[in-house]
Structure 1
Amino acid sequence: MYEINMPIKIPKQMYVIFVNFIMLCLGGFVTIYVAENINAPGYERLYLLPLTYTFCFLILFSRMLFQRFKVFIVVFTVIGFARFVMLPYFIVFNDYYGGRSPEPPLASSMETAIYLMVYELVMVTIVIGILDYFQNKKYKARDTQQPFDETKSYFGYKVFIIIGFAAAIVIPGVISSISFFIPKPDLVDVMEDSNVLHMLGGYMFILAKQLIFIMVTWWTYKKYVATNQMLYVWIAIIALFTNIGIFIGTNRSDIVLVAIVSLVTFKLLFPKYFKMVVFFVGAMIVGIIIVMSTVRNIASISGGTSGVTDFTDNMQVYFGGPYNVAMALETKLVFPEARHMSVLFFDIFRPMIGVNIFVKNLPFDYSNLFFNQRYFYSDHTTQILPMIGQGNLFFGYLLSPIFSVLVVCLAYFIQSKIDRTRSIEMFYFLTLVCTRMGMLMGQNTMNIINDLSYNLALFLIIYYVNKKIVFKKRLGDVRYE
């Protein structure tokens, strides 16, 4: 008799217990360490950040991570861990309680900022729990054997791809702003500082590049299913790396976003080879970001003497740490005009691709400009106004998490569309937007709106035009449905 060794399947509940144990140890350690070693006025309650996140993780997020894959929750949990656990630890460990402003925030502002961050996390956690409960009731698992339906026609996409590449060649400056794996120098904020035609050409090229990735990946998937030949897997991998490695400008979050969504799409079609690919993609992303940081020539807060200090400072900036939230609170005091509804109007419509053409010359300022004026007392605009600070600016302490809550609601609405769509291209671009929303605590509404209009609005136009056009090979004509 032969014994059949069946693989042992570990229940998901065991993973939840294990991750909860790790989080309890890490969160407990950081909470105690921060509470015992704080050495700056205004930071006395800093330990509340890791403590609150640990409770939220144990109560809700750990279970959600292993229920079913939702890119918003994964990204939100990772960013939350960095913001609420890692950052407080490094602030205290490195004794770095400052920032880049020549005039630091008051101790009272720091204390209020910490309370607001806790308030924001609690409110967002409650909303996520409620929305997730109702969404899970309606959820139907995707068919892993046939995850998507065949697109009836690619004619509209092919025409747009030709137009997108032609625009990159014809419009001055677009082709020179495109990087291939290695970021080009002197391209910092190239899309933000360009004219409308240049920006449109760049957006069209990036959209065309991503459509090529989707079409090639879907084609290789069908060929692999039919033939089981590894050649098609390698073609899909090459398409994956190319999609990530071709970019415009030096915005690091854009590179990470495309990498995450490309990997999610690849995993859905080629789950067997995902682990092999993800390591090399991660290494490539780290390499690109390191080179990109050098190209951007970001000033070292420590003058190059302490990598830990520079790392802490970067976390403070990109994850909306307490220093930046405190700065946002003082923006309201230093510039009372920043609370005006015209500023909110500009915050909504100025970053909206297309609409911004009509409003950008209006005599208004946007909130991030006031925030940076408080930060540097100059025209520098390098710092990101945290979303909780933006909410407080317009609606006060009580309603300060309103923007964060609205973004969560929108993310869950988009997630419901992701769950139901049978279109691979719709899945890709909706996931791209949902990934950006997972970074909400280090962003503001301007980042989210810009991303929605850039990554989703333009694609939806092309998507619906493509659906209406059917190319008949046999007759050699084009008709509209």
Structure 2
Amino acid sequence: MEHTQFLAVNLMVYEMIIMFIIFALFHKKFYKENLAKRERKITSNSNIFGWVFIALSLIILYLNPTILTRYSFVWLASELKSKDVEGVSVSFFLTIIQLSHLILTVSILNIIYRFYEKKPHFIFVILSIFVVAISSSFIVGTSRFSIILPLVTGLYTILKLYKPYRKLLGFLSIALSFIFIAVSTSLKRKTITGDVGSSTFENLNTDLQLYFSGVANVAHSVNTRLIYEPFNVMAILSDLFRSVIYLNSLFGQHVSALMQYNVSFYGGGPSRDQILPMIGQGYLYFGFILAPILTALTIIIVMYLDKKIMKSSSLFTIYIITYLCLKFALFNMANATIQISFFTNFFLILLIIEWLNKTIKTR
């Protein structure tokens, strides 16, 4: 047990060292110029296809109203709802509604900013904050990701839009983030544990282990190595693309590191909901030396996206690239399989909508 934890700690320290090395090697490529001084003026965008997508989502909701049963409004809920929806077997519809939620938010921000461009007034700043706060108040299942990511994305977008009010917005952003995290954490704890009393330290430790690649989670990855064979290319590809439409059918059935990790974590049993940490995933696939390779690739992607955000002048682009950048930056709360699934099944649709809007505007 001590040996396993010692190896887990070494893996986490090794991952951190690689992160600093990767940043040192590539920061000049992505940050060779002072991007802050070269920021372009942000403009509102034509969003015809965004509203078309929202209309399509409303039709889906009309035909499948039970989809809404997966959402909880954090300010009124006594406990969180299940992420599963009875009577809805097509998960694609669930993704469409979640996407529409984001598109509706950025579309409303786009309209508000269009008024601000014509007549700059603080009331439009307040309206934008209100829209982001309300939009981020709907949590999907028990996933706090579903409110924290839209909240931070929206607040960062507002900071980019309303430069004269950045100091005030910075303070409000920090305050709102703490409030949302506190409320959602309390709700989740009541939902999962039935509000069983425990110390603050125990609750904090549990939350950190659940949402980050803590020592306990990485140690379970090390234990999983006993029942998982590394360097199996087809098994690795099958694992990475297991949640990607069409691609998941190209690699056949192989032993999954994600599933084996859950077997190790729970000691058997039916539960398969624990997230394999990215450093643990790299360790199972490639061994100790190459374990941080997935983390290294993620850091490079984050730096690239950060540069794209700084150089963009489109409100819609800034919003969706920021969302993607945050998703990848929080790699300690996910793994490569989750990130690839998000990019292919979720983010690409946003890029297509943006491309269609730009094409129509150009013509």
TM exceeds 0.5?
Answer: yes
- Which residue among 434, 447, 456 is the counterpart of 2:338? 447
Amino acid at match of 1:149: T
Q: Given that residues 213 and 332 in structure 2 are in contact (C-alpha distance below 8 angstroms), is that contact kept between their aligned partners in structure 1?
A: yes
Matches within 5 A, 1:198-209: 199-209=91-101
Look up the equivalent residue of 1:177 and give its one-letter code: R
Residues 214-267 of structure 1: CA distance to partner in whole angstroms, max 9, x if unpaired?
232233233234334343233222211122123432211221111111110011
Tell me, in whole angstroms, the C-alpha distance in 2 between the residues paired with 1:143 and 1:394. Answer: 41
CA distance in 2, matches of 1:415, 1:155: 27
Tell me how far 1:357 sits from its aligned partner. 6.8
Cα distance in 2, alignment partners of residues 184 and 363 from structure 1? 41
Distance 2:329 2:30 in 1: 17
**Residue 222 in structure 1 maps to residue 118 in structure 2:** no
Contact 2:72 2:81 in 1 (8 A): no
The whole-number CA distance in structure 2 between the counterparts of 1:143 and 1:196 is 48
Find out whether 1:465 has 2:361 as its counterpart. Answer: no
**Structure with the greater alpha carbon radius of gyration:** 1
Return the structure number with greater relative CO, CA threshold 8 A, min gap 6: 2
Structure 1 pair 246/321, CA: closer, same or farther in 2 (3 Å)? closer
Change (3 A) 1:355 1:195: farther
Corresponding residue number in structure 2 for 1:61: none
Tell me whether 245-254 or 272-281 shows the greater mean CA deviation: 272-281
In the TM superposition, what whole-angstrom CA distance separates every residue of 1:304-347 from its partner, at most 9, and x where no partner exists?
343312321321232211222121111011x1347633331222
Take 1:111 and 1:281, find their aligned partners in 2: how far apart are those partners?
Answer: 34
- 1:287 is aligned to 2:177: no
Instruction: Say whether the 8 Å CA contact 2:228–2:257 is kept in structure 1.
Output: no
CA distance in 2: counterparts of 1:226 and 1:160, whole angstroms:
27
| Structure 2 SS opposite 1:327 | helix
Q: 1:310 to 1:230 in 2, by over 3 A?
A: closer
**C-alpha distance 442-239 of structure 1, shift in aligned 2 (>3 A):** closer
Residues 51-450 of structure 1: matches in 2 within 5 Å?
106-141=1-36, 147-151=41-45, 153-171=46-64, 173-181=66-74, 182=76, 187-190=81-84, 197=90, 199-271=91-163, 272=165, 273-275=168-170, 277-278=172-173, 279-295=175-191, 297-298=192-193, 304-333=197-226, 335-337=227-229, 340-352=232-244, 354-355=245-246, 358=249, 362-378=252-268, 379-450=270-341
Cα displacement (A) at 1:139: 4.8
Deviation at residue 119 of structure 1 after TM alignment: 1.1
Kept in 1: contact 2:278–2:331 (CA 8 A) = yes
**TM-score (normalizing by structure 2):** 0.87
Task: Specify the code of the residue in structure 1 equivalent to 2:322.
Answer: T
Distance 1:141 1:203, change over 3 A: same
Report the identity percentage. 21
Q: With structure 1 as the length reference, what TM-score do the two structures score?
A: 0.67
Question: Aligned equivalents of 2:257 and 2:194: distance in 1?
Answer: 24
Structure 1 residue identity aligned to 2:183: G
SS at match of 1:141: helix
Q: Deviations over 1:117-157 (max 9, x none)?
A: 1111101111012222221214533666x632342x32222
Could you give the per-residue CA deviations for residues 16-75 of structure 1, whole angstroms, max 9, x where no partner exists?
Answer: xxxxxxxxxxxxxxxxxxxxxxxxxxxxxxxxxxxxxxxxxxxxxxxxxxxxxxxxxxxx
Residues 171-225 of structure 1 show CA distances to partners (whole Å, capped at 9, x for unaligned) of: 352133233334585733327x99663x222222222222222232233233234
- SS across alignment from 1:250: coil
Cα displacement (A) at 1:437:
1.6
RMSD: 2.8
Listed as ranges, the gaps of 5+ residues in structure 2 are: none
Instruction: Give the partner amino acid of 1:257.
Output: L
**d(CA) in 1 for partners of 2:198, 2:171:** 37
Shift of 1:370: 0.4
Query: How much does 1:298 deviate?
Result: 4.0
Tell me if the contact between 1:161 and 1:208 (Cα under 8 Å) persists in the aligned partners.
Answer: yes
Distance verdict in 2 for CA 1:244–1:308, change over 3 Å: same
The alignment partner of 2:82 has SS state of coil
- 2:289 is paired with a residue whose SS is coil
SS for the counterpart of 1:264 is helix
Partner Cα separation in structure 1 for residue 19 and residue 313 of structure 2: 30
Query: Which residue identity is paired with 2:186?
Result: I
Change (3 A) 1:375 1:434: same
- Within 2, Cα distance between the matches of 1:201 and 1:180? 20
Show the counterpart of 1:27.
Answer: none
Q: Which runs of 5+ in 1 are unaligned?
A: 1-105, 471-479
Question: For the residues of structure 2 that align with 1:179 and 1:154, how far apart are their CA atoms?
Answer: 28
Find the residue that maps to 2:291 and give its secondary structure. coil
* Deviation sequence 1:340-378 (CA, Å, 0-9, x none): 3333122211122x3367469x53342121011011122
Change (3 A) 1:187 1:127: same
